[in-house]
Structure 1
Amino acid sequence: MQDLKISLITVTYNARATISRCIESVVAQGYKNVEYIIIDGGSKDTTIECINKYKDHVTVLVSEPDKGVYDAMNKGILLATGDIVGTLNADDFFASDDILQSVADMFAEQNADIAYGDLDYIDEQGKIIRKWRSNSYKKGIFNLGWMPPHPTFYCKRELFERLGYYSLEYGTAADYELMLRYMHLQSIRICYINKVMVKMQCGGMSNNSPTNRVRAWKFDLRAMRSNGIQFPLFSLIIKPLRKIVQYF
C-alpha cells in the first residue's frame, strides 16, 4: 500500500560523518510515497555538500540557524504535507529497507494515530551495545517510567495541529514531553511495531556527561509534572532503571 504519504524529517548540524549513511537508509526504503525533509542548522562543515549528492531524493532542504534540534523538528513539521510524520536523526539509520512499509501498514490496517517500535544502540564500529525493546503500550504505563524510543515514533500529522508541537521549554526532554502529552493524556489509538526500526549511534543530547544527565532529569521531572504522571519522583527514579535490562 502506497496511498499514505509519510513525511520524514532529519535534523542536521555538522553531521558530515553520518548523514550519508542516514540518507542512504531512507533511499533504500521499499515504500516510496515519502516526503523527505532535511532541516540543517547552518552547518559549518561539508554536511550540505553531502546532502546535495542525494538531492533527487530530498523533497525539502532548509539550511539556516535554529534554536536547537526540537526547533528544527518543528520547522520540518510545519513544512510537512504527509498523512504521517516521523523523524530520523542524522546519526541514526533505518535497520532494514521495509521500515516505512511497516509504518504505513500499521496506520492503514490498524487505523493507528501513533505507532512506534524498537531500537538498537550501536557503537562507532556498528556493534550493538544496547537493545531498546518497547513492547505494547498499556494505558498508564508512563507512570512506571516507560517511554518508547522517539526515533521510532510516528503519528498522524493532524495531531501536531491539534495537540501542539515540541515545546522548547523542556530542553532535552522535549521529545519525552510531547509523547507524554500525546500518549499519556489522550485517548487515541496507539500501535506497536514489533521490530527493530532504527539503529542509533551512541552520544545523544542528554546522555553524554554527568552534568547533562542531571539537567535532563530536571527536564524529565518537569515534563512529568506537567502531564499528569501520578508520582513523578518515583517515575524519575525508575525510568533510568528500565535501561538496565537493555544491556543484556
Structure 2
Amino acid sequence: MSLFSCNTPLVTIITACYNGENSILNAICSIESQSYPNIQYIIIDGASTDRTLEVVNNKRHLVDVLVSEPDNGIADAWNKGLALAKGELIGFLNADDVYDNDVVEKAVNTYLGSNRNCLIYANCCFIDNGVYKSTNSSEFDPARLKKGLGFGFVHTTCFVPKSVYESIGFFSTRYKIAIDTDFLVRCYVNNIQFIKSNYTVYMSLGGVSDRYASRAYSEFLNVLENHNIIQSKTKRFYLFFYSVYSIFRPVFKSEFLKFNLRWIKHNLCFLMNFIYAVIPTFFLKNCYLKLLGFSIGKCSYILKGVKFYRPGNVDIGNNTIVNRDCLLDNRGRITIGSCVSISHHVSIYTAGHRIESLYFDYYQEDVFIGDKVCIFPHVLIQPGSTIGEGAVILPGAVVSGNVEEYGIYGGVPAKKISTRKRDLRYSFNYPFWRAL
C-alpha cells in the first residue's frame, strides 16, 4: 500500500493477538471492507498455538506485516507494531473487535481538520456473541477523570498521530491491563487534544479487562495516582468501594438481572400509559404528565390512545393538539412548538436500529417540530428529523431529515411539493378527550 499524501495520509492499523482463531478473521475482514484506501495493516501474533496463523495466512494479501513470536504481554506486542508502523495516523484493532466500514475514512477526516497534535476517539458498541448490548457515545470530561471515573471513551476507538507516540513515548510494559489508561493519561497531561469523531467500533465483551476486572480497576487507579490525577486517600476510598461492589458484581452483570429489569421497564411503561388513559380530566392529565417530567403549555392537549415510551423527554408549547392514537417515542427528546396540529395515528420516533450496521445497533436522535406545523394522519417521523415552522406534512408521508419552514411535503420519503402562506393567524383550544 502506498505512502501518504496530503489528502489521503497512510493509516496504520495494528492488531495484537494470541490464539485468536475464532475471532481474528472478522477483524481482518473489517479492514478489507474499509472505504478508505490507504492502509498499512500489521498483525503481531504472540506465537499462537491454535489455527490463528492459518486463518491469517488465508488472508495474507490483506496483511502488510505479520510477526509471530513470543512477547511479554499486550504492551510489548503493541510496541512491536508501533516500531513497524509507517502511517501518519495509527489505530489499534483488537483481534476480537471490528471496525464499521467507514471508521478509517471518518478518523482521517477528523484528523485533517485538527491541529494534528491530537487523539481521536469515537463511539463504541459492545457486542456479546454477536448480540448488540449497548453503546458508549460519551465525550471526554477532564472533571470525571479527576474524580477517578475514567475517560468516557474506549481505547479501541482511538486513532493517534505517530508524532504523538514519538513525543510522549510508546506503551509502558509496567502494566499488564491498564496499558491504554497509562498512555491516555500521558496524552492528557501532555496537553494532547482529545477530539470526538462520529464513527463506530464494535468491541466484544469478555476481554482481559472484563475477566480480571478487580486487577484492571486497581491498575487504573494506580495510573491515576502515579500521574497525580488523584490522591492516595481517594484511591484507597475507591478501592474500598470497589471491594464491596465486586461482591455483587456478578449479580449486576448477570443476564438474569438485565432481563428482569427490562421486563419491569416495559410493564412500568404500560402502567404509565394506562394511568394516563383513565385520568378523567385534561387538567389532571396534564398535571400527571408534568409530574412525569413532561413540559406541556397552556391549552395544549394529548388525546386518547396516545402512547409514550418513558417519562419525560417531551416539550410541548401552547395551543397544540396531539390527536388520538399517536405514538410519541420519547426515548430521545421530542420538542413540539405552539399552535401545532398533529392528526391521529401519527408516529414520532427518536430511536431505532441502524439497518446497515454490522450488528443492527441502537441509535437515538431528537426530533424538533416548529410552531404552526400541521401534520396530517398516518405520518411517520424518523429519528433526527427537524420540521420547520409552519410546514405541512401530507397524509401517509415518511419524514426523514430537515423540512423547510412553510414547506408542504408529501410522499415516501417526504419531498417538498409547494410552499404554504406565511401569514398564519390561527390557534387551537381543543380539549375533547373522545374526539374522533
Above 0.5 in TM-score? yes
Structure 2 partner of 1:201 = 204
Structure 1 partner of 2:9 = 4
> What TM-score do you get using the length of structure 1 for normalisation?
0.87
1:3 deviates by 2.1
1:2 deviates by 4.8
Offset from partner CA, 1:73-121 (integer Å, 9 cap, x none) = 1100011011011100000001x21110001001102234210011111
**Cα distance 1:138–1:213, how it changes in 2: closer, same or farther (>3 A)?**
closer
**Cα distance 1:139–1:202, how it changes in 2: closer, same or farther (>3 A)?**
closer
Structure 2 partner of 1:191 = 195
Gaps of 5+ in 1: none
Identity %: 31
1:30 to 27, 32, 35: 35
Amino acid at match of 1:193: S
Amino acid at match of 1:117: A
- 1:150 pairs with 2:155: yes
Does the 8 A contact of 2:73 with 2:176 survive in 1? no
Question: Greater helix percent: which structure?
Answer: 1
Amino acid at match of 1:25: S
- 1:45 pairs with 2:50: yes
Amino acid at match of 1:74: N
Runs of 4 or more, structure 1, over 2 Å off, are: 137-141, 230-238
Distance 2:186 2:155 in 1: 13
Gaps of 5+ in 2: 1-5, 246-251, 253-257, 263-436
1:47 deviates by 0.7
Distance 1:105 1:235 in 2: 39
Distance 1:191 1:206 in 2: 24
Structure 2 partner of 1:100 = 104
Q: Report 1:53-202 matches (<5 A).
A: 53-94=58-99, 96-112=100-116, 113-124=118-129, 126-135=130-139, 137-144=140-147, 145-147=149-151, 148-183=153-188, 185-195=189-199, 197-202=200-205
Q: Over the residues paired in the alignment, what is the CA RMSD in angstroms?
A: 2.1
- 1:15 pairs with 2:20: yes
Out of 27-36 and 153-162, give the one that drifted further.
153-162
Larger radius of gyration: 2
Does the 8 A contact of 1:206 with 1:213 survive in 2? yes
Offset from partner CA, 1:159-197 (integer Å, 9 cap, x none) = 1121111112122001111101112x02232210134x2
Equivalent pairs counted in the alignment come to 234
1:206 deviates by 2.1
Amino acid at match of 1:152: T
Q: Secondary structure at the match of 1:221?
A: helix
Distance 2:98 2:88 in 1: 22
Distance 1:90 1:68 in 2: 14
Distance 1:2 1:26 in 2: 20
Out of 33-42 and 112-121, give the one that drifted further.
112-121
Distance 1:87 1:218 in 2: 23
